[in-house]
Amino acid sequence: MLKTALHFSHQLLSECVQPGDVVIDATMGNGHDTVFLSQLVENDGHVYAFDIQEKALESTRQKLEKQGTQNTSLIKDGHQNALTYLPDNTMIKAAIFNLGYLPRGDKQITTKSKTTLSAIASLLTILVEGGRLVLVLYSGHDEGMSEKKEVLSFAKTLPQDSYSVLTYQFINQQNNPPSVLCIEKKKAK
C-alpha cells in the first residue's frame, strides 16, 4: 500500500539520517517526530526541537523521558530563530516541519508562511550535502492553504544544480489530505 504523507516523511528522514548526525524538529508539537529523530541519531547525535507552545515541550519531554534518551534539546522559540540556538559552525543532516496547529490544541496557534519561509531559508544555509528538509503541508485550513502555496512557490525557485525538490500528494482523496515536500541538497560535482 502507498504510504501516508506522515509515513513517507519518516521514510525520507530514515533514508538520510545516520547515528551521530545533528538534526532539527522545527515543529515539535506532541513530540512524535522528535522521538523518531532521537532514535535515528542515537546517543552520539543530537536533535534540536522547536515550538512556541509550552504545552508542546511538556508533552515531548514526557515522551522522551519514557525513552530515557538524552540527545535532545527542547527549545521554546520559533523555528525562524533556530540558528541562534545552535553551536557555532553546526551543520545539519535533516530537518522536519510538520506544519499547521497542534492536534487537539488551539487552532489559532498555527505555523505562518512568513516565519516558515524564513526558517526554511536559514536552515538551507546549514544543510550538509545529501541532507534533506522534509515538510508536511496541510491545506485544510485557510492559513495552511496559503502557507502551502507560498512554500511550494519558493521551493520551485531553488536551482536544480544545487537541490532536488519533490512533492508527494494523493490527488484523488477528499478533504485536503496532507502532502509532503522534500528539498535535498545535491552533492557537489
Kindly tell me which of 44 and 77 has the beta carbon lying closer to ligand SAM.
Answer: 77
Neighbours of 171 (CB within 10 A): 6
Q: How far is the CB of 126 from ligand SAM (least distance, A)?
A: 17
Q: Is 178 in the site for ligand SAM (CB under 6 A)?
A: no
Starting at the earlier edge strand, list the strands of the sheet with 179-185: 72-76, 46-51, 22-25, 92-98, 127-137, 179-185, 163-168
The C-alpha atoms of residue 30 and residue 65 are separated, in whole angstroms, by 13
Q: How far is the CB of 120 from ligand SAM (least distance, A)?
A: 12
User: Among residues 45, 100, 144, 178, which is the contact residue for ligand SAM, using CB under 6 A?
Assistant: 100
User: Among residues 27, 38, 113, 179, which is the contact residue for ligand SAM, using CB under 6 A?
Assistant: 27
Residues 6+ apart with CB under 8 A from 164: 183, 184, 186
Q: Is 56 in the site for ligand SAM (CB under 6 A)?
A: yes
Q: How far is the CB of 32 from ligand SAM (least distance, A)?
A: 3
Q: How far is the CB of 12 from ligand SAM (least distance, A)?
A: 14
Kindly tell me which of 121 and 162 has the beta carbon lying closer to ligand SAM.
Answer: 121
**Residues paired with 98 in a beta bridge:** 136
Q: Hey, what amino acid is at 25?
A: D
Question: Cα Rg for the chain, rounded, in angstroms?
Answer: 16
Q: Is 143 in the site for ligand SAM (CB under 6 A)?
A: no
**Dihedrals φ, ψ of 51, to 5°?**
-160, 155
Q: Is 30 in the site for ligand SAM (CB under 6 A)?
A: yes
Question: Residues interacting with ligand SAM, by CB under 6 A?
Answer: 26-27, 29-33, 50-53, 56, 78-80, 98, 100-102, 109-111, 115
